[in-house]
Structure 1
Amino acid sequence: MAHYYDIDDIIMEGELISVSFHVAANGVGLDPGSETNCVEQGSKVELPFWLAHELHQRQAVSINVPACFNQKTRKEIQADAACVDLRNRCLYFYELGCKIAPMVGDRTIGSFLLYTFTCRYKEVLSKAHSSAFVVAPKFLTLLTKEETQLYEAARSSMAAFRKWRLGGPRFEKASILGKKRKPND
C-alpha cells in the first residue's frame, strides 16, 4: 500500500500483459467485439497488470513473460544496452520487471534487470554530465520513466556543481560564531 497514491505506480499497473486462463470465466466481457461474455479455459488474453496479479493470486490465470523481457530484447541489450529503446517497449520497465519476476517463474529476469540497469546507468550519467542540452532530447526518447528521473537528477546536480564552481556561495560562517559570550561575574 506504500504506492497507493503514486500516479506512476497506477500507470505502471495499467500495463497490458498476456495471461492464460486456467478456468473458464463467465460474464467477464473482456472482448467488446465478442458475441459472448465468456472466456474459455486455456484462452490467452491481454489484461492490465493489476487484474492479472489478482487473478494469478487466485490461481485462475498464469502470467506469460511480457514481450519486453523476451530473448530478442535480451540479445539487443547484450549487444548495446544504451541504444535500445525501452520506452516504447515498457515505460516502467524496471518496476514492472521487479513485480512480475516472482509471478512468471523466470528466475533470470532479476539478473537481466540488474545487467540492463548497470549498463544503461553509466550511459545516462555520462550523457547528463557531458552532453549539451541540444543532444539530450534525442537520447531521452530511449529512456524509461526511472531512467528519465535519474537523468534529470544528474543534470540538475551537475548544473548546481557548475554554479558553485564558478563562484556560487562558498562556506558561510554560522551566525552564532560571531557572538561573544558575556562573563557571569
Structure 2
Amino acid sequence: MARYFDIDDIIMEDELISVVYQVGANGVGLLDPGAERNCVEQGAKVELPFWLAHELHMRQAVVVSAPPCFNQKTRKEIQADAAFVDLRSRCPYFYEFGCKVAPLIGDRTIGSFLLYAFTGRYKEVLSKAHSSAFITTSKYLTLLTKEETQLYEAARSSMTAFKKWRVGGPRFERASILRKRKPTD
C-alpha cells in the first residue's frame, strides 16, 4: 500500500503480460478481444495487465509467461553493449517491472540479468550526465528507462550545483555570534 497512489507504479503495473489460463472463466470475455463468447477456456493465451495477471496467478488461475523485454534477444543485446540498448521502448520501467515479474515466472536468472544491465548502463548514464552537452544527451535520453532518467537528472542537478558552488556560490561563513566574542584574560 505504500505506493498505492504512485503514478509511476500504476503505469508500470498496467504493462501487458502474456498468461495461459489454467481454468476456464465465465464473464471475462472483455479480457480477450478476439473472444466470441463471454468466457475464457482453459489453455487460452491472453495478454493481461500485470496487476490482473498477478492477482490471477496468486489464485492459481493462470500461468505467467516471461515478457518479451526479458527474452534472449534482449539479453544478448545487453551482453554485447548494455549502454546503448533502447530499454525504454521495450519497457519504460524495466528494472522495477523485472523485480515484480521474476517471482511470478520462476526465472531465477532475471535478478542477475537486471543487475548486469544496470551496472553496464550506470557508468554511461553518470558519464553523460556530468560531461555531455544537452544536444548529444537528448538522443541518449530516449534510450533510458524511467529509473535511469531519474538517476540521470539527479546526477545532472548535482553537477550543476557543484559547478555553481565552485565558481562562486555561497561559501561557509562564521556564525555572527562567533564574531562578537572577545577573548577572555
Task: Tell me the TM-score range normalised by the shorter chain.
Answer: over 0.9
Q: Does 1:178 align with 2:158?
A: no
2:18 equivalent in structure 1: 18
- Which blocks of at least 5 consecutive residues in structure 1 are unaligned? none
Per-residue CA deviations over 1:79-112 (Å, capped at 9, x if unaligned) read 0001100000000000000011111110000000
Report percent identity of matched pairs: 79
Partners in 1 of 2:175 and 2:59 — Cα distance? 61
Q: Which amino acid aligns with 2:20?
A: S
Matches of 1:179 and 1:17, distance apart in 2:
69
Q: How many residues align?
A: 182
Q: Does 1:4 align with 2:4?
A: yes
Taking the aligned partners of 2:14 and 2:142, their CA distance within structure 1 comes to 21
TM-score (norm 1): 0.95
Q: CA deviation at 1:32?
A: 3.6
CA distance in 2, matches of 1:34, 1:139: 41
Name the residue aligned to 2:165: 164
What letter corresponds to residue 56 of structure 1 in structure 2? H
- For 1:105, give the aligned amino acid: G
Aligned to 2:131: 130
Deviation of 1:44 after TM superposition, in Å, equals 0.9
Gaps spanning 5+ residues in structure 2: where? Answer: none
The alpha-carbon deviation at position 177 of structure 1 amounts to 2.3
Determine whether 1:88 maps to 2:89. Answer: yes
Partner in structure 2 of residue 73 of structure 1: 74
In the aligned structure 2, how far is the partner of 1:57 from the partner of 1:95? 19
1:60 matched residue in structure 2? 61
Higher helix content, 1 or 2: 2
State the Cα distance separating 1:179 from its structure 2 match: 4.2
- Seen in structure 2, the aligned counterparts of structure 1 residues 107 and 33 have a Cα distance that, compared at 3 Å, is closer
Q: Deviations over 1:142-183 (max 9, x none)?
A: 0000000000000011111111111111112123323439x9
Distance in 2, Cα, partners of 1:108 & 1:174: 56
For the 8 Å contact 2:86–2:142, the answer to whether it is kept is yes
Letter in 1 for 2:42: Q
- Which residue number in structure 2 is paired with residue 46 of structure 1? 47
Residue in 2 that maps onto 1:27: 27
Distance in structure 2 (CA, Å) of the matches to 1:24 and 1:175 = 77
Q: Which amino acid aligns with 1:6?
A: D
